[in-house]
Structure 1
């Protein structure tokens, strides 16, 4: 199941060239902005997000309730965008610590899914990476950009409960394959 991209290419957001300020030409491209006047090229690349699928001792999964849009007040797996020069595994560990106060040891790759991240009127294409980790305690707290932490069985939530379709797909993959930790 592919995620549909926005109807207008991202380059349509450019009204003028960021380099020479010439007006944008009539032709737009889904992957890059090219200035007809000076030849400047801006590639519109997919962003990368990394999330932790944290499994408690009873098999329940850690979710955070988002304090901000997109998906404000909905549940999500703790995660976020990668920092420059950061591995996806490190980003998953960092995001779980920053959002829920849980320190993870090693993580194992579960799956990746495309997503659209709507922010301030722009839909950014994202590839969401999901990593599993087991913890021996359900101790967690709502921290950065989080109003609440929730532990729930991976099959207990509907797609509508979750902030992002990619998170629902990751949970279905977890149920289908089992955690890649055993």
Structure 2
């Protein structure tokens, strides 16, 4: 049994505190006391596919759990009242200090992200991006470093998350 699943972790109604907060067949929870209905919908996240002049892909190294030390794409969760595009620009600036000049939607995949012992289901959206330049780029926020990788040098077993692996594979195969 996966102890990070919402129906295992969520035990009490967030409105009234009742223990009668029961999982439903539609991936929601409903309180038997106050009738509060809560859905565990997918959270949106963004990822940037950025290449340099040598056609190498920029990958970051995760500086925090989950998967600390594994390769990832720059990006992160879309915040409340933020568009995916705004999140993309913000995340790349926060993590690397880079300014995105142009971007285009590429592909999306579902993913599962376990944080604090709780499984969050995500929809990860990838964008192909160009940046103004790589001057002053540095690892910040929740990444420890970065690397540029050629298609033939990618070790997919070192990439965090199945959605990110698929995005990198799709990018190099497009």
Check whether TM > 0.5. Answer: yes
Partner of 1:142: 139
2:28 touches 2:37 (CA, 8 Å); kept in 1? yes
Partners in 1 of 2:116 and 2:3 — Cα distance? 16
Q: Where in structure 1 are there 5+ consecutive unaligned residues?
A: 1-5, 178-182
Partner of 2:158: 161
- Displacement of 1:25: 5.6
Q: Tell me: CA distance 1:15–1:82, structure 2 relative to 1, closer, same or farther (3 Å).
A: same
Matched, 1:93 2:89: yes
Partner of 2:102: 106
Q: Tell me: CA distance 1:164–1:154, structure 2 relative to 1, closer, same or farther (3 Å).
A: farther
Which protein is richer in strand relative to its size? Answer: 2
Partners in 2 of 1:65 and 1:8 — Cα distance? 24
- Displacement of 1:134: 2.8
1:154 touches 1:171 (CA, 8 Å); kept in 2? no
Partners in 1 of 2:77 and 2:31 — Cα distance? 29
TM value normalised by structure 1: 0.85
Q: Tell me: CA distance 1:117–1:100, structure 2 relative to 1, closer, same or farther (3 Å).
A: same
What RMSD, in angstroms, separates the aligned Cα atoms of the two structures? 2.0
Partner of 1:131: 127
Q: What SS does the corresponding residue of 2:100 show, helix, strand or coil?
A: coil
Q: What SS does the corresponding residue of 2:67 show, helix, strand or coil?
A: coil
Partner of 1:171: 168
- Displacement of 1:29: 4.1
The size of the alignment, in residue pairs, is 172
Q: Tell me: CA distance 1:56–1:78, structure 2 relative to 1, closer, same or farther (3 Å).
A: same
TM value normalised by structure 2: 0.89
Compare 39-48 and 136-145 and name the one that shifted more.
136-145
1:47 touches 1:127 (CA, 8 Å); kept in 2? yes
2:43 touches 2:123 (CA, 8 Å); kept in 1? yes
Q: Where in structure 2 are there 5+ consecutive unaligned residues?
A: none
Q: Tell me: CA distance 1:7–1:86, structure 2 relative to 1, closer, same or farther (3 Å).
A: same
Matched, 1:119 2:115: yes
Q: Tell me: CA distance 1:84–1:8, structure 2 relative to 1, closer, same or farther (3 Å).
A: closer
Partners in 2 of 1:8 and 1:147 — Cα distance? 26
